Every structure is written in structure tokens, then in C-alpha cells.
Amino acid sequence: MSVTSARTRRTRPLALLALVLAMAAAMLGVQTSTGVSAAAAGARPCDLYAAGGTPCVAAHSSTRALYSAYNSRLYQVKRASDGATRDIGVLGAGGYADAAAQDSFCAGTSCLITVLYDQSGRGNHLTQAPPGGFQGPAAGGYDNLAEASAAPVTVGGHKAYGVFVAPGTGYRNNRTNGIATGDQPEGMYAILDGSHRNGGCCFDYGNAETNSLDNGNGTMETIYFGDSKAWGYGTGNGPWVMADLENGLFSGVNRGYNANSPSISHRFLTAVVKGESNHWAIRAGNAQSGGLATHYDGPRPNASGYHPMKKEGAIILGIGGDNSNSSAGTFYEGVMTSGYPSNATENAVQADINAAGYATYAVPGTPAVGSRVSLRATTACCTNTYLRHNSADSNAALAAVSSSSTSADKAAATWTVRAGLGDASCVSFESADKPGQYLRHYDFRLRVDSIDSGALSRLDATFCPQAGHNGQGVSLRSANYPSDFVRHYDYGVYAASHGGSHAWDAATAWADDTSWVVTSPWA
């Protein structure tokens, strides 16, 4: 008897009936998801998993409720200006995140996401990941937290924010309740930004070691998304949905290449991994429309240590099991279940995800890739000044530019917008008069410089536009230092946090100094 047929025979008639009714509710939501009341009327992912006999034991989202009756907090933000915190909840039972509450609380400053709350009631909240066995950027200290405004989207027509994971960022819970251990069955899905990733290890969501160390093959079971080819990969150039099972990113039964694992191009991606005794599967699909495709469904990897599994039951987001934290990605929602979900249950969940209406959000004033622009300061003292580079030392500076300025001064204040060198979802600024040189931060000071192929320099030259902190233009967040924004200070230009230890981090006029209006190019 196959594993699948055995599961089918064990399914109770009442559970099947409940699942059919829940699927019908989900499909109804596809047709009527234009408003809060209509969207809230249908079953949510965790209602569907429960109806299928595999209830959620962890449910995390910064965008919406994952139960139709859930009417509480989604996440917590911490304000840089004074260290105050605020919980961000939903607009109503089963509804969307109250992004306006975050915008109001964080106005004029920056905020970090400090907690992702578990909606299952088991207390499996995710907080700042502690140090682990990986000796990388955060070795010896806690990981960074995500900048709260870094990943705006709309869901059901409502503004919301994802969890933007830059290298060095990570969340974890090593003391969980109800998460699978050993060889126990479980399932999980995550909604991710398919355009935001890298090849670093490891952008994971799921089950990991409880001591933040690599405890050997089979001690993890997580969703992985990215471009890494170090342990496994599929067709094309990536990215791929794979399973991180510790000491291996698996796209199928074999280590390395598996032909049935396709590259993924969806802007909003549904990624699914599930496992039980000597059996596991990968599924994926477009979170905006359509169903799930099965990329793998079969026995555990044909390498030692993966059958039986030795899962430990911690939960991670944005990092590997040993706190490997050089990855990048954006997370919107995800759950973990008790028991191995059926394809029918997951298909119903995918229908609800389609109905949720994920869509991109265009930050007003964001410069278009390929355009030429100049960047004007918005501080009252300096509205005739622009970000430029110096001729003598290549440092970036603030200087007045007008129609009577020399052609050289105009060119020095002009930039060509490129797709982010270190993160294609952000932007880089190539000097108009020094082709091949880019605006980058180096020891916090901004300058123009040639960029090598190394990941660090490419991230140093990458900035992510957000709504201007003072309500004007845009603020430009450093891609690899989530709390730092491009700021002018004493006519120099820096990567500055709000109220940090350097002179250029001063709180005075920080919101104004970090806001820039994108204008027509001077040259």
C-alpha cells in the first residue's frame, strides 16, 4: 500500500466533509475578496488546515489574520527615536494588518520589527535570533531586526508590510510548543517575495535546532528559497524552492541537481515543504493566481542521516539552523502544522492565498531603473542643494546646484538609476560623469567608487527607497544595514541611523536630512 493511499483510508468522513465545505468557502473568497467584510467571511489557511486534520501549531504573518476569527496582534515594532514599542494588529476579525497604525507610530523616524506573533495560541512567537554556531557577520551577537517599512505591499487593496530580511537579519524561537520533533509528520508554507533573494545561506522558514548549532543531518526541516547551488539546485539559474534538512539544501531525492525542480519567477510565491516518515514533498505556485505544482514527492534523501529524521522543533526565519545569516528574502506569512497535510488541503489554502489579493505597492517618488535623476535635499536650510560627488576625493557631499552652475557641477549631481547591484529589488546610483562608478557607503561615509564582484561592495552600493521620513520624496535605506539611511550632515553624506553613536546619527533634523526628492537630472 502506498503512503498516499494509507493516508486516504485514515481520513475521517467528518474531516473530509469539513474540508470540502472549507474549500468551498475559500473558492467563494476568490470571487468576493474585494472588501474587508467579504474577505473575512471565508475560511483562512489555519481554518483549512484544521478542517483537513492537520491543525496549525505556528502561524506568523505581518500582513493578515490566518484564522477567520483571529482579531489580535500580528507583530510588534520598536521606534528608533525613543525605543518605544507598539503591537500592530488587524483591522477586524480575519482581516488585514493595520498598516496605518504603524505609519502613524513610526512617522518621522524608523522602526524595527521586534516580534512576529504566533496566531495559533501556542505562544510560538519569533524574536531576534541569538548567536549560533555560524561564524559570520553576527558572530558573537544577536542578529539584526528587519526595518519595519522596508517591504510595503497591498493585500486585498489594503497597505501592509512584509518582513524584509537583509544579510545579517534573523528571527528564532528555540523554546516552542507543539512543533514536530524526531520523525513526527509536519507541513509548512510561506508566502515570499520571489524577486528578493541571494545565494547566501540560508533564507529558511521552519523547523530547526533548539541550540542554534548544526547538530547533524536530519535535525532540520525548513522551506528554503534562494539562488544557492552549494548543496542542491534545479533547472535554470534559480531561484529555487528547496528543503533545508541540515547539511543539505535538497530539491529532490539526490544531493545536488534535480531535474524536476524549476526556477521560480513569481513576484509573490507560495512555497510548501512537508515531511513524514521516509516521505516528503516540495510544492510551489504563484501566490496571486493558479494552483500549486509538485516539484518533488517521494522518499527522504538517499544520503545518511535523513531517515529517520531528528527534527528538534525550534522555528527560524531568514537564517539557517546554526544561525548562518548571509541570506536575503522577504516573508509575508507562513504556518507550520501538526501532521502531514494532504494536497487537497494545501490546494484549498492556495485558493485562499489567491483570494487574499497580494499586490505590489509603488512607493511614490521612487526613481525608475534606467532613468537619470538628481536628488534634492528637503531640509529647510538646504532645499537648493543636491547630493553630488566631490572631484578631489570622490566623497559624496551636499552642494547647491542651479541653472548657472558649471556643466561639471551639474554632472557631479546627476545619477543613472540601476537595478540594485546587491539586491535587484532595490536600486544603485551610477555616477553620470564617472561611468562604472557607483554611490556606496564605506565606513559610513558615502562616496563614488568602482564596485568589484564581491557581495559586500555590491550591497554597500545598494539602497532601497521607502516613503520619505518627513513626508517628502523618498528615504534611501542601506541594503545591508537595515537601520541606516542616506543622510546629509554638515554637508557630508553618510549612512546614518536615528540616534546612533556617531555625530551624523544625531536625532535633530534626522527625518528631514534623510528625505530626498527625486528630480529631473541636472546633466
Domains belonging to the chain, first-starting first, are 3-360 (2.60.120.200), 372-519 (2.80.10.50)
Lowest mean pLDDT across 7-16, 161-170, 296-305, 372-381: 7-16
Q: What pLDDT shows up at residue 25?
A: 47
Task: Give tens-digit pLDDT for 192-217.
Answer: 999 999 999 999 999 999 999 999 99
**Residue 306 pLDDT level (bands cut at 50, 70, 90):** very high
Q: How many C-beta atoms surround the C-beta of residue 230 within 10 A?
A: 11
CB 123 within 8 A of CB 113: no
| Confidence check: pLDDT of 4 > 60 | no
Q: What pLDDT shows up at residue 12?
A: 37
Which value, to the nearest 10 degrees, does the dihedral of the CA atoms of residues 373, 107, 483, 115 take? -140
Whole-number percent of the chain with pLDDT over 70? 91
Please give the grid coordinates belonging to residue 372: 537619470
- Label residues 354-379 b or e (16+ Cβ within 10 Å = b): bbbbbeebeeebbbeeeebbbbbbbb
Distance of alpha carbon 246 from alpha carbon 316, whole angstroms: 13
How much is the mean pLDDT over the chain? 91
For residue 53, give the nearest of 342, 282, 288 by alpha carbon: 342
In the Cβ-directed half-sphere of 452, how many Cα atoms lie within 13 Å? 4
Task: Report in angstroms the alpha-carbon separations of 98 from 49, 89, 103, 155, 349.
Answer: 25, 6, 9, 11, 23
| Confidence check: pLDDT of 138 > 70 | no
Q: Is 506 exposed, middle or buried (0-12, 13-18, 19+ CB in 10 A)?
A: middle
State mean pLDDT over 138-149.
Answer: 84
| Confidence check: pLDDT of 24 > 90 | no
Q: Can you point out the beta strands (E) in 251-363?
A: 256-257, 268-276, 279-286, 292-298, 314-317, 329-337, 358-360
Task: Report in angstroms the alpha-carbon separations of 240 from 144, 283, 383.
Answer: 25, 11, 46
Q: What pLDDT shows up at residue 244?
A: 98
Task: Report in angstroms the alpha-carbon separations of 121 from 42, 55, 117, 176, 177.
Answer: 20, 12, 9, 12, 10
First to last CA, the chain: 73
**Residue 129 pLDDT level (bands cut at 50, 70, 90):** very high
State mean pLDDT over 315-340.
Answer: 97
Task: Give tens-digit pLDDT for 224-270.
Answer: 999 999 999 999 999 999 999 999 999 999 999 999 999 999 999 99
Q: What pLDDT shows up at residue 313?
A: 98
Between 17 and 403, the more confident residue is 403
Please give the grid coordinates belonging to residue 490: 554638515
Catalytic residues, which ones? 246, 322
State mean pLDDT over 167-181.
Answer: 97
